[in-house]
Amino acid sequence: MSSGPTELLDVCVVGLGAIGALYSYALEKSGGARVTAVCRSRLTHVFIEEDGLDIDSEGFGTHTGWKPYRVVRTVEEAADRDYSYIICAAKSVPEVITTPTLLSPLIARLAQSPPAKATGFVLLQNGIGIEDDLLAALAKVDAPSVVISGCCWVDTTAIEGGRRIVQSGNRERLVLGYHSAPLDSINAKVDEQAGKQSLKDLCGLFRAAGGNVEAAADIDVARWRKVLWNVSFSTLCTLTRAAVGETLAVESSRTALKDLMHEVLSVARAFLPPSSSVQELLSDQVVEDIVKDENPNSKFRPSMLVDLDYGRPMEVEAIVGGVLRRAKAKNVLTPKLDLIYAGLSVIQRQLINKP
């Protein structure tokens, strides 16, 4: 005898760029969720309303004219119901808007009508310390919540003005893990098992869609591992306006990439408590492995460079500033990274202040 259809989980995804669209599609493909997508881009919103998005993914398959369950233009519009998960896939650019400010209507609803079950806030963003201000904001809310980080290892791009999402290669990998809440917050009382269950359920949704997802034992270590690539390749490609392969073609550039990663490793080891995960994922050998694994002929342009190409503010504070703040806290010198940060900050100021 059939038990009837499974109730779909309501998921809000804020940011429908390449990453947001790809994983929104995956959530609905899983058969266990329905997505309310906050699409702030007027053009992409028009595409979805008229014909939907075309998904071309080696991991999740292809779909012509995909539309999420619901699409809205603002976070305020989305804050008309409770969600099991609120996923922020918009890039972290606190120089323009912080994550708590961006999500404030959803956080306000949580405060006004606390649900019985913990709400999962999921950050599919690059950077170090990007969870800090959200954890602090949620600590003031008398409602149960869990903050989950996601490290996206995937080559995905929005083309044709955002109408088509292309994910190439078989390297799609999503590493997820939850952050502990401040000890003085209501969420410090949330049972650890609830956090593990929220993480397990989310991983299950992505796996059901065919995703390569991993629950990290220590998400902080996983974030430092991911930022090694971002701090080196993303920043150098952006400052030189060059694709990944071009930065590997020059010996001095390859040396600079490695030097930047070694500075990040010094900060990570000073900041993180010693563990087997640190020894395994943040060893000196990792630097050689990262450079070796990259395609020397790669034409890939990191998202930071793509943002510069289009005149959009970049993830300077999230990726580089976050590392430097940890370095300062532990008195770790980072001369090469300081120079990279200075150069990017000049460009960032121009982008933010342009007419």
Cβ atoms 234, 261 nearer than 8 A: no
Dig out the tokens for 86 from the structure. Answer: 């609120």
Give mean pLDDT, residues 150-163: 88
pLDDT recorded at residue 278: 95
pLDDT recorded at residue 1: 37
Give pLDDT tens digits for 183-228: 556 566 566 778 889 999 999 999 999 999 999 989 999 999 999 9
Give mean pLDDT, residues 62-71: 94
Question: Which residues, other chains included, contact 325 with Cβ-Cβ below 8 Å and sequence gap of 6+?
Answer: 129
pLDDT recorded at residue 105: 98
Residue 148 has pLDDT above 80, yes or no: yes
pLDDT recorded at residue 43: 67
pLDDT recorded at residue 193: 78
The proportion of the chain whose per-residue pLDDT surpasses 70, expressed as a percent, equals 95
Q: Alpha-carbon distance 195 to 88, whole Å?
A: 18
Long-range contacts of residues 61-70, Cβ cutoff 8 Å, at least 24 apart: 61/29, 61/210, 63/25, 66/25, 66/28, 68/13, 68/24, 68/25, 68/28, 68/34, 68/35, 68/36, 68/37, 69/28, 69/34, 69/35, 69/36, 70/34, 70/35, 70/36, 70/37
Q: State the pLDDT confidence band at 47, using cuts at 50, 70 and 90.
A: confident
pLDDT recorded at residue 187: 62
Weakest mean pLDDT among 86-90, 115-119, 258-262? 115-119
The proportion of the chain whose per-residue pLDDT surpasses 90, expressed as a percent, equals 82
Phi, psi of 313 (to 5 degrees): -55, 145
pLDDT recorded at residue 279: 94
Which run of H or of E encompasses 151?
Answer: strand 145-159
Indicate the burial class of 259 (C-beta count within 10 angstroms; 0-12, 13-18, 19 or more): middle
Give mean pLDDT, residues 260-279: 96
Weakest mean pLDDT among 90-104, 133-147, 258-272? 133-147
Residue 29 has pLDDT above 50, yes or no: yes
Cβ atoms 154, 22 nearer than 8 A: yes
Dig out the tokens for 331 from the structure. Answer: 């008195």
Residue 42 has pLDDT above 90, yes or no: no
pLDDT recorded at residue 182: 65
DSSP characters over 263-320: HHHHHHHHHSPP-HHHHHHSSHHHHHHHHHHS-TT-----HHHHHHHTT---SHIIII
**What is the rounded average pLDDT for all residues in the chain?**
92
Q: Alpha-carbon distance 221 to 314, whole Å?
A: 23
Q: State the pLDDT confidence band at 4, using cuts at 50, 70 and 90.
A: very low
Give mean pLDDT, residues 286-311: 94
What pTM does this model have? Answer: 0.93
pLDDT recorded at residue 275: 94
Residue in the structure block whose two tokens are 């005898």 = 1
More confident residue, 158 or 230: 230
Q: Alpha-carbon distance 91 to 122, whole Å?
A: 13
Give mean pLDDT, residues 118-139: 95
Question: Angle at the Cα of 149 (from 344 to 78), degrees rounded to 5?
Answer: 95
Residue 106 has pLDDT above 90, yes or no: yes
